[in-house]
Amino acid sequence: MKGNDIREAYLSFFETKKEHLRLKSFPLIPKDDPSLLLIGAGMAPLKPYFTGKVEPPCHRVTTSQKCIRTGDIENVGRTARHHTFFEMLGNFSFGDYFKKEAIAWAWEFLTEVIKLESSRLYVTIYPDDRESHDYWHDMIGLPESHIYPLSDNFWEIGEGPCGPDSEIFYDQGEEFGTDPENQMGGDGDRFLEIWNLVFSQFDRQKDGSYRPLDKKNIDTGAGLERLSAVLQKKKNNFETDLFFPIIQEAAGLAGVPYGRSAESDVALKVISDHTRAITNMIADGILPSNEGRGYVLRRVLRRAVRYGKLIGIDDAFLGRMIDVVVKMMKLAYPELMEKQAFIKKVAGVEEKRF
Ligand code: GLY
């Protein structure tokens, strides 16, 4: 399945089979949320629905949310999975269904819709969470050997809704390593986290305390890039159809084919990651500057240009990369096409300046 098909399969499963309202991705600039610089998770734009501050248009919502996270930017291109821009698939319940349905539907999607082998699926749970354990064990039928208690299974992103979680992992097999690092929750690639089910029960306050929410919610996040890697049987996200055409374009301009050396591959991966981020940030109204979001964009853009230089691209090249990104993403985000000329202009000016 192509990345575009996986996104559509997910959204349509929750929309048509599980009565969710499908919403468009919210922009990367948070609205009325001074606690966040950029949207970094599927639930972030939905916080007022979780806390009950605003009545949601439906108590079940599904989205594929554009996200930016730059905390680990130095790792991008050096690992199989770090990205500055990614899409998070999510199904959300605002005081509606809870653990039982969230677990059952995640399993149904993974094993019946995209047909992953159930014997390769493992889960982690918060150690005190017997309820989730029992749903996984008794309702789904997962053996104990596939259920791992993990004390850091608690998900939060700054202030706002948070809670214990249960993560679903895909075992890529022994050829991805057998060392302890590769256990669930480690940095290895063998057990790949593909979905996080957050049982959103608390509202984290500015002072760091946790206020119990009046209603219990479900917040989930499944990485589109990771699901694509699993289904396309690729060793890293960059080799999926969500990135590879960008890598090929950059490789063509540089005259350096993918696979030639570890260092040039890092550069090609960085360029593919960063140009997806640049394109979507500018499309959502962020302009390069020396502070805040504008600075994040400037830094990502300049890194892309620097890595281009490292592999021998001397002329301005971001415009060519942006064309490829728009072509790949326009099915899900048609607004990219309308803004294509503007995105290229903003990126081009900053590239020349740098
Ligand atoms: N909000 C769930 C996650 O980002 O994993």
DSSP 300-343: HHHHHHHHHHHTT--S--HHHHHHHHHHHHTTT-THHHHTHHHH
Q: Which residues contact 298 (CB under 8 A, 6 or more apart)?
A: 288, 289, 290, 350
Does residue 196's CB lie within 6 angstroms of at least one atom of ligand 1? yes
- The amino acid that residue 153 corresponds to is N
Per this entry, what is the length of the chain? Answer: 354
Q: CB of 351 within 8 A of CB of 316?
A: yes
- Give pLDDT tens digits for 161-173: 999 999 999 999 9
E-only strand ranges, the chain: 21-22, 60-68, 85-94, 121-125, 147-149, 154-155, 160-171, 191-204, 210-223
Q: Any idea which residue has 């690729």 for tokens?
A: 234
Instruction: Assign residue 173 a region (left: φ > 0; alpha: ψ between -120 and 50; beta: otherwise).
Output: left
The tokens describing 144, both together, are: 């104990």
Does residue 273's CB lie within 6 angstroms of at least one atom of ligand 1? no
> What pLDDT, on a 0 to 100 scale, did the predictor assign at position 184?
83
Does residue 62's CB lie within 6 angstroms of at least one atom of ligand 1? no
For ligand 1, atom 5, name the residue with the nearest CA.
221
Reading the chain (354 residues) residue by residue, the pLDDT tens digits are 999 999 999 999 999 999 999 999 999 999 999 999 999 999 999 999 998 999 999 999 999 999 999 999 999 999 999 999 999 999 999 999 999 999 999 999 999 999 999 999 999 999 999 999 999 999 999 999 999 999 999 999 888 999 999 999 999 998 888 777 778 877 778 899 999 999 999 999 999 999 999 889 999 999 999 999 999 999 999 999 999 999 999 999 999 999 999 999 999 999 999 999 999 999 999 999 999 999 999 999 999 999 999 999 999 999 999 999 999 999 999 999 999 999 999 999 999 999
- Measured CA to CA, the distance from residue 85 to residue 269 in angstroms comes to 12
* Cα(108) to centroid(ligand 1), Å: 19
- Give pLDDT tens digits for 77-108: 999 999 999 999 999 999 999 999 999 999 99
Pocket test of ligand 1: the residue of 26, 39, 43 to mutate, having most ligand atoms within 8 Å of its CB, is 43
* Cα(155) to centroid(ligand 1), Å: 7
Shortest CA distance to 104 belongs to which of 17, 1, 41?
A: 17
- The amino acid that residue 295 corresponds to is Y
Does residue 142's CB lie within 6 angstroms of at least one atom of ligand 1? no
The tokens describing 253, both together, are: 């301009």
The model carries a pTM of 0.95
3-state helix, strand, coil in the chain (%, to 5): 45, 20, 35
> What pLDDT, on a 0 to 100 scale, did the predictor assign at position 187?
72
The tokens describing 16, both together, are: 């048509």
Coil, strand or helix: which one is 52? coil
Pocket test of ligand 1: the residue of 155, 199, 200, 226 to mutate, having most ligand atoms within 8 Å of its CB, is 155
Q: CB of 147 within 8 A of CB of 137?
A: yes
* Cα(3) to centroid(ligand 1), Å: 19
* Cα(62) to centroid(ligand 1), Å: 13
Does residue 221's CB lie within 6 angstroms of at least one atom of ligand 1? yes
